[in-house]
Chain A
């Protein structure tokens, strides 16, 4: 047995807890989960049935753990793990499953296929067969955490520029983007890029929130690798920052996997060092609107708008009603996709696949069901509260000629706040092509 295989098997053993063993044992191979998966919907073939993917890991598990399978491997297709099988498993877990959990919801037994796909990802990461780019991105974030002073100066300069824009947009000379403010109530953690800082800054200022901006980004590529060690190191930067500043809560930018990571995983990884609340920016927006902390014009967005449920936020995060509450407060023509909420279709961009250029074609093909779903709403604007989903839907827009505008929820809320100036790129007359929009100035 080579060292690679040994590492992969050791990782499988280390992960084999009650939920994973259950997922490996419970499947009845009834096949009714087939259409649950967007890969199968886009290209109906046996290999795209969630249970078939899971079987590839089960074959290895059975060989290691099932006595009948050891005696008669042909009876259960049990297979000794080798390099070819590991390469095949790696490919399946990173390019043919976005960990959306739609199959689990649709399985009469509730088989957790993504849990098995995560187990494979962890095996591949340990054995060195996981995609290099994900490892590089995770490691770069860890390095950044070790010595933030290296880039902090440049970051602060960018924030100073953004602050000028913020004042210009809001017409408020006192509007600020505080960074590392000791004792602030909220630590807001953005993604890379001004587009996830400026709109929330507008909202926080309007709500007169006691907030501060994190110097780190919310993304966590360790999560996509299913590498708890790396993921913890990436998350630790923010946990430490929150503890250092003494904040009451962390608010995560519009990002599915980051929300899932900080809301559901981090409290387990850092038990005892983690007593602040974690919310998504979506929840904060909903709270501000319902409490009247920000004023929005219910007629502000005249075009037809639909909402894409990110799998991490909706099916895996329970943020089902909050975004709809926000949208219904600002949109006149809100159209649901069918199906939606916990049954929503994955856009095909989850699980880190948008970062893997080698699988771009596969990703776009698997997004076809989402493209069709968007098309059938007839909506001109698609709101997605996750960066990966927005990137994917943007690509689907181009590839399938959807003729839509893809936007974040916060950007639309800012537009509905009727501020003196629009956000960059959100000039209303550009937003709804062909529609006359009156925005009082």
Chain B
């Protein structure tokens, strides 16, 4: 078992190192400093970008694609839960049963939602047209990762596969599509800065304030 745990650890270290390299590379690039006078409120814009701006009702697109959006959220919750669960795996024996079963009931639906996403990529015309081989691989790999983690919690037989799949998943993060998780934070921050500066988001800068 130890050897597989070490394997997962090596995968995790490689993934983290790769993500760090990507982060460092992006940070090395120029960051334009905007000197135009601020009309709105930049911190509020950034806060909006990460909170209310992510709500399903905040955007027309997520209102139209509500099911797909919620599926994506459930899937991503599954991924982050699986990462935490694998990291905690040496302590599984000490976890309260309620926590273990909660994790299981987050992971299994997460994996099912991932599989649904994988099938949608194959079946839906637009998604098929947009998807790269990397996208298909990434969604099935992470789905498998969540599934074996959930099953590993309950069935001993899945623990070794869990470590192997975890190692591959962690190592793949910086190499392919999954690295968008890093850029999510950059992207939403730039979004918040841009629209916050210009008093577009958060919505509803009162007219009198807007005149200033």
Contact = CB atoms under 8 A, between A and B. Distances in A.
Interface string B192-205: 00110011110101
Given A32-B64, A110-B49, A287-B211, A52 B35 contact: no
Given A31-B126, A263-B36, A286-B207, A317 B132 contact: no
Interface string A302-339: 00000000000011111111101100000000000001
A405 B210 CA distance: 29
B210 A75 contact: no
A76 B134 contact: yes
Given A29-B131, A30-B68, A318-B210, A342 B200 contact: yes
Contacts of B36: 263-265, 267-268
A32 B68 contact: yes
A23 B205 CA distance: 27
Contact of B188 (A16, A110, A314): A110
A164 B127 CA distance: 62
Interface stretch (B7-15, B79-87, B156-164, B172-180): B172-180
Interface residues of B, number: 60
B206 interface: yes
Interface in B27-56: 27, 29-32, 34-37, 39-40, 49, 54
Nearest to B194: A112
A201 interface: no
Contacts of B97: none
B35 to A, nearest CB: 5
Q: B-side binding surface: helix, strand, loop or mixed?
A: helix
B37 A322 contact: no
A339 B134 CA distance: 36
B60 A264 contact: no
A18 B26 contact: yes
A202 interface: no
Interface residues on A, range: 35 or more
A283 interface: yes
Contact of A315 (B35, B54, B200): B200
Contact residues of A: prevailing secondary structure: helix
B207 A322 contact: yes
Contacts of A154: none
B62 A108 contact: yes
Interface of A: 16-19, 21-23, 25-36, 46, 49, 51-52, 55, 68, 74-77, 104-112, 263-265, 267-268, 271, 277, 283, 286-287, 290, 314-322, 324-325, 339, 341-343
Interface of B: 26-27, 29-32, 34-37, 39-40, 49, 54, 59-62, 64-65, 68-69, 72, 124-127, 129-135, 175-177, 179-180, 182-184, 186-188, 190-191, 194-195, 198-201, 203, 205-208, 210-211
13 contacts: A18-B29, A30-B68, A31-B130, A108-B59, A109-B180, A109-B184, A109-B187, A263-B36, A286-B207, A290-B208, A318-B40, A318-B199, A319-B210
